[in-house]
Structure 1
């Protein structure tokens, strides 16, 4: 049984840095996506940072990584550092999201510039 989102992701997709745990549970990506959808931002970030510590690595599919960042930003819409992290991840995985990358960076800059000193 998986006790964390990270364990579930590791079991389903594998881990570039650690062995995949033995598991007698059936795995369906839809179950993982459901768990991801309702996970809190800290759990999602822990999964991303543990399974993809250098952002360009890891076995998480790009669609899962993008969804994870989107869900984190919905929960924490006013954190410029997270916006930039999400933008960097999108940028690394192809030009399809360049307009979203630029928008995230603009929003992060605007938040920082509006913050009281």
Structure 2
């Protein structure tokens, strides 16, 4: 599967502070990016997150896209404590609205490690 990061519409929609946007003949709309993200595998999604948001506190992806990406990764890999914690850290950075969800992700990570 093609990484959502490598898809030219995603890079044009979300930007990339590290490389120039590649030329392509496609229309650049957010829904094309979300469609690619929805069906990307976990490795491709994590690659995109790490390239476009190399530090948790900044990055080129909107918060809602980051949250969606982590949710999709966790649906594919629900038993990886490190990913659960990474997703929780992302949620804690974006206000108290998601603190309960972040705490639950950490609890799940701890439960998995205790097994």
Q: Same fold, TM exceeding 0.5?
A: yes
How much does 1:4 deviate? 3.3
Q: CA RMSD in A?
A: 1.2
Partner of 2:82: 81
Following superposition, which runs of at least 4 residues in structure 1 exceed 2 angstroms of deviation? 16-24
- Length-normalised TM-score, structure 2: 0.91
Cα distance in structure 1, aligned partners of 2:12 and 2:32: 12
Cα distance in structure 1, aligned partners of 2:107 and 2:72: 19
Alignment gaps of 5+ in structure 2: none
Q: What is the DSSP-based 3-state SS (H/G/I as helix, E as strand, rest coil) of the residue aligned with 1:5?
A: coil
Partner of 2:16: 15
Aligned residues: 112
How much does 1:18 deviate? 2.2
How much does 1:39 deviate? 0.7
How much does 1:65 deviate? 0.5
Partner of 1:63: 64
Alignment gaps of 5+ in structure 1: none
How much does 1:74 deviate? 0.2
Cα distance in structure 1, aligned partners of 2:62 and 2:76: 22
